[in-house]
Amino acid sequence: MPAFESVLTTPEQLAEHYRPPLELVARKKIDHVDDGAAALIAASPFVLLATSGADGRCTVSPRGGDPGFVRVLDPKRIAVPDLAGNNLLDSAHHLLANPHAGLMFLLPGTAEILRVEGHAVITVDDAVLDRVTGDGRRPVSAIGITVESVFVHCSASLKRSGLWDPESWGRVAAPTVGEVVRGHLELTAPPR
């Protein structure tokens, strides 16, 4: 397989290709969840959780629930319930080796994106699990994030993609998830 060519490998090379952020943009990152960020988290029914293992491999895991299923415990801590899923536990295994996580909160129908980054742990603390129990479903654990960075993310990607624009939906033919899974299972089937 050919390698990529003309790759950027240093901060100086990046600076040759990108302008520095405006001062206002650089200042929008804060180190805690303020009232505005807390309101966005409370309104969001969907968050993407990014983690990376000790080997550097990354994963992004979608998490969803009723708006506000992720709880702000205090300005420096939030908790994400770990509800039943596929039980591969990719994110959990990553966090055991590398306790850093990034969250991207989305609000359907709006261009609002909130990004939170911080130190993450897997907690089974009853007081935390009680706070993130919703719809009568108590999670096995919760991902506790000690907040290091919070900021409103640029919404240009949502606008360019037309993600919330119903007229853009279905504009490209794609296989169903079932078709993709069948192909993957054929590739990984044990020899007969």
Upper half-sphere CA count for residue 159 (Cβ side, 13 Å): 6
Q: How confident is the model at residue 155 (pLDDT cuts 50, 70, 90)?
A: confident
Q: Are 144 and 77 in contact (CB under 8 A)?
A: yes
pLDDT surpassing 90 at residue 75 = yes
Arch. (CATH architecture) of 11-165: Roll (2.30)
pLDDT in tens, 35-47: 999 999 999 999 9
Whether 122 and 84 have beta carbons less than 8 Å apart is answered as no
Q: Write down the pLDDT at residue 16.
A: 95
Structure tokens at 111: 């261009």
Tell me which residue of 118, 103, 98, 100 sits closest to 55, measured CA to CA: 98
Contact 111, 154 (CB under 8 A): no
Q: Which of these ranges, 65-69, 84-88, 119-123, 136-140, has the smallest mean pLDDT?
A: 84-88
Residue % of the chain over a pLDDT of 70: 100
pLDDT score of 170 more than 80: no
- Give the C-alpha separation, 103 to 55, whole Å: 20
Angle at 142 between CA 152 and CA 41, to 5 degrees: 25
pLDDT score recorded for residue 164: 86
What pTM does this model have?
Answer: 0.88
Token readout for 68 is: 């506000």
Taking only the tens place, the pLDDT of each residue in 100-153 is 999 999 999 998 899 999 999 999 999 999 999 988 889 999 999 999 999 998
What pLDDT is stored for residue 153 in this prediction? 84
Q: Nearest 10 degrees: CA dihedral of 52, 131, 111, 168?
A: 80
Q: What is the mean pLDDT of the chain?
A: 91
Q: Higher model confidence: residue 187 or residue 137?
A: 137
CA distance 144 to 140: 13
Please report the pLDDT score of residue 135 as a whole number.
Answer: 80
Q: Is 104 exposed, middle or buried (0-12, 13-18, 19+ CB in 10 A)?
A: middle
CA dihedral over 11, 16, 17, 18, signed as positive or negative:
positive
Q: What is the pLDDT of residue 62?
A: 95
Question: pLDDT, tens digit, for every residue of 89-105?
Answer: 999 999 999 999 999 99
